[in-house]
Chains A and B, each alone.
Chain A
Amino acid sequence: MATQVVARVSHPTLPVQGGMTGSYVTTWDGRAKLGIGLGGIKYNVRVGSPCFGWPAAEYLEPGVALKEDEGKPTSPGYQGPGAVATTFQAVTCIGNQVTVASGDAKGATGVVTGKGRNSVLSHFADADLADLSIGDRVKVRAEGVGLELDGFQGAVFNVSPTFLEALSPDVRDGVLTLPTAKEVPAYATGYGVGGSEAQRGYLCVQSNPPALVQELGLADLRIGDLIALRDTLISYGKGYHRGAVTVGVVVFGASDAAGNGPGVLAIAASKDGKIKPRLTRDANVAKYLKLGGEA
């Protein structure tokens, strides 16, 4: 089913730790950091940009972050405030078309590239970015919930049919092969373990201390990269499962806060390891959506 959901171009926010207020993030090594990058419009950060190396950035989200204005998503099925926001985030998929419905950029089209912290992330051409205003209304043609791959017993989610096809998924003897740029072991997953179902929220790959980044070979990780999570199962929740494989998309950049780092949105998962990651250095959403640029 293809359906319409609407949202607005969001305003940037500062990360908040532990439900408290305050401008600074405490880094893993005890520094106070003003971290920017959540929400809003980024003119020079896009899918394909590096996860690391942006001064003062925390949870750097690429392109245009869209939010439904009824506030923070809550539990599925809950019909009070936030129910629309929850639905907006749950049904949008990577590859869905976004159309600007108000403001100077009205009529411009972009594409969903991921889901961030309470937001859906989208890419627009530079010329349209210049015309966009915070608060502009957008509509998304939501399509992808319920998608299945013939012969694959695991789950596929958060992808439009066209995006999935662009990945050239190969199913043989029940095993799904997908291109991935990196692999990450379970001990390096952080914030987001224990989080909600696969369609909402994210799972962080820890990006500190620096020795861990070096050990995992993640220094050149890019926003939009497809990565494989070993012994991690994202389906009815997010957590450790021996032998499982989850493939996801890196949706935002690095963090200096302990246990935090680039967020991963799952696109396929197999409890019994029936996903075979195929190492592909340039496996990035920007390539498969043909967004051009450095990717």
Chain B
Amino acid sequence: MTLKTNKDRLVRAAVMGEVNHPWANKTYDVAYDGSPRIGSGLRLGMYGLKYNVKVGDPCGGWAEGEHVEPGFSVTNPDPAENNALALMACIGNEVTMRTGDAKGARGVVTGKHGSILVWLPDEDHEKVTIGDKAQVHAWGVGLSINGFEDVCVHKCSPTLLEKMGITVEDGRLVVPVAAEFPAHIMGSGLGMDPHTVDYDIQSTCDEEAETLGVGRLRLGDVVALRDQLNVWGRGYYRGAVSVGVVVHGWSHHMGHGPGVNTVMGAMPGRLETRPDPDANIAKLLGLR
């Protein structure tokens, strides 16, 4: 069955940003084990444009990679406008390149880290120049599911929500997910705002990351977070379930790791999961 939502009542608006440049203010940064790492100092893989990392690729294994973001990253140089871009752009929103050699090319928002993360088809991606303007058809703020208005939907376009394979069984939403994680492994971003920023599945305790399968995650995976409530902020709540999309890769900074933009936050008894190894937005949105 198709979920019924209020998507026809949502404001559709344009927000814009520019493909940004990588930046650094130090050479080395101290990793979780006390070792200096150059990739962590300059945040190798954050910001800018990656030629060989796209949504659907592995989270980890990139040499010296730190919070690796797939595709390219877009911010607005005006801080207040950037806040609006961050709040309004939702995963699955259409992006149109407005300047440069890739002008007219169309892609998709795949997440929000420090920047809005954008996927374009390979042939268009190659043409993008840092500084090009990308406009997002922002559609999703205020989205709710009929009969489940108490389940907080955020950072999620109606397009993505409808393609996630969600069903309703016994009065609960059932969401296909690629992996699940317990509360204690959630790290940087706790206590912050789910509408604007992701939070991390910690990859800095080797044994625990191995036990929980953090290393198997792929960029774009749909995951469930147990005992985590993402509604009015985010934190521990026994029995609550949050569902999110993995937006960036591995980290060596203590308490950091693959980042999750939550797209749904539900109180106990309102949302269940179903294991599905194909639950990745690259597949759901037809990007690969």
Q: Is A233 an interface residue (CB 8 A)?
A: yes
A187–B191 touching, CB < 8 Å: no
Minimum distance in angstroms from A153 CB to a CB of chain B: 13
Within 230-268 of A, Cβ neighbours of B (below 8 Å) are at 231, 233, 235-242, 257-260
| A68-111 interface (Cβ within 8 A of B) | 75, 77-78
Is the Cβ of B187 less than 8 Å from the Cβ of A260?
no
Nearest A residue (CB) for B183: A187
Name B191's contact: one of A186, A197, A260 (CB within 8 Å). Answer: A260
Chain A residue, CB-CB nearest to B196: A18
In contact, B34 and A236 (Cβ under 8 angstroms): yes
Q: Does A217 contact B (CB under 8 A)?
A: no
**Residues of chain B contacted by A260 (CB below 8 angstroms):** 191, 233, 235
Residues of the B chain whose Cβ atoms lie less than 8 Å from the Cβ of A77 = 26
- Complex interface residues of chain B between 159 and 207 (CB less than 8 A to chain A): 182-193, 196-197, 200, 202, 204-205, 207
Residues of A within 8 A of B237 (CB): 28, 209, 212
Tally chain A residues at the interface, Cβ within 8 Å.
Answer: 45
A20 at the interface (CB under 8 A from B): yes
Residues in A lying within 8 Å of B, measured CB to CB: 17-20, 26-30, 75, 77-78, 185-195, 197, 204, 206, 208-209, 211-212, 215, 231, 233, 235-242, 257-260
A210 → B minimal CB distance (Å): 11
Give Cα A17 to B197, complex, Å: 12
CB distance from B268 to the nearest CB of A (A): 11
How far, in angstroms, from A188 to B183 measured CA to CA in the complex? 8
The reply to whether B202 and A78 form a contact with Cβ atoms under 8 Å apart is: no
Of listed A78, A186, A192, residue having the most chain B CB within 10 A? A186
Closest to A234 in B: B254
Contacts A75-B25, A235-B34, A237-B32 given; indicate if A190 touches B190 (C-beta within 8 A).
yes
B190 with A240: CB separation less than 8 A: no
**What 1/0 flags go to B3-39 for Cβ under 8 Å of A?**
0000000000000000000000110001111100000
Whether B254 lies near A238 (C-beta < 8 A) is yes
Is the CB–CB distance between B184 and A231 below 8 Å?
Answer: yes
Contact A239 B30 (CB under 8 A): no
Contact, CB under 8 Å: B185 / A242:
no
Contacts of A212 in B (CB 8 A): 236-238
Q: Output the least CB separation between B267 and chain A (Å).
A: 10
The 7 tightest CB contacts between A and B, nearest first, are: A194-B188, A237-B254, A191-B191, A239-B255, A259-B235, A258-B233, A259-B191
Check if A75 sits within 8 Å of B26, measured CB to CB.
yes
Q: Is the CB of B236 within 8 A of A240?
A: no
B246 interfacial by beta-carbon distance below 8 Å: no
B256 lies within 8 A of chain A by Cβ:
yes
Q: For the complex, would chain A's binding face be called helix, strand, loop or mixed by DSSP majority? A: loop
Q: Is the CB of A258 within 8 A of B188?
A: no
A240 with B234: CB separation less than 8 A: no
For B, the interface residue count at a CB cutoff of 8 angstroms equals 42
B34:A193 contact, CB within 8 angstroms: no
B39-93 residues with Cβ-Cβ distance < 8 A to A are: 83
Task: State in angstroms the CA–CA spacing of A215 and B187 once bound together.
Answer: 21
CB of A240 within 8 A of CB of B196, answer no
B234-262 CB contacts (< 8 Å) to partner A: 234-238, 253-256
Does the CB pair B191–A240 fall under 8 Å? no
Closest to A257 in B: B233
Q: How far is the CB of B160 from chain A (nearest CB, A)?
A: 23
Say which residue of A28, A194, A215, A233 sits within 8 Å of B232 (CB atoms).
A28
What residue of chain A has the Cβ atom nearest to residue B152's Cβ?
A30
Task: Tell me if B231 counts as interface (CB < 8 A to partner A).
Answer: yes
Q: Report yes or no: A193 in contact with B192, Cβ–Cβ below 8 A.
A: no
A237 with B30, Cβ < 8 A, contacts A18-B193, A258-B191, A259-B234 known: yes
Bound: A30/B30 CA distance, A: 37
Measured CB to CB, the closest approach of chain B to A184, in angstroms, equals 11
- Residue B278 is within 8 A (CB to CB) of chain A in the complex: no
Q: Are B236 and A194 in touch, CB under 8 angstroms?
A: no
Q: Does B101 contact A (CB under 8 A)?
A: no
CB distance from A175 to the nearest CB of B (A): 21
Residues of A within 8 A of B189 (CB): 194
Given A239-B202, A239-B254, A186:B233 Cβ within 8 A: no
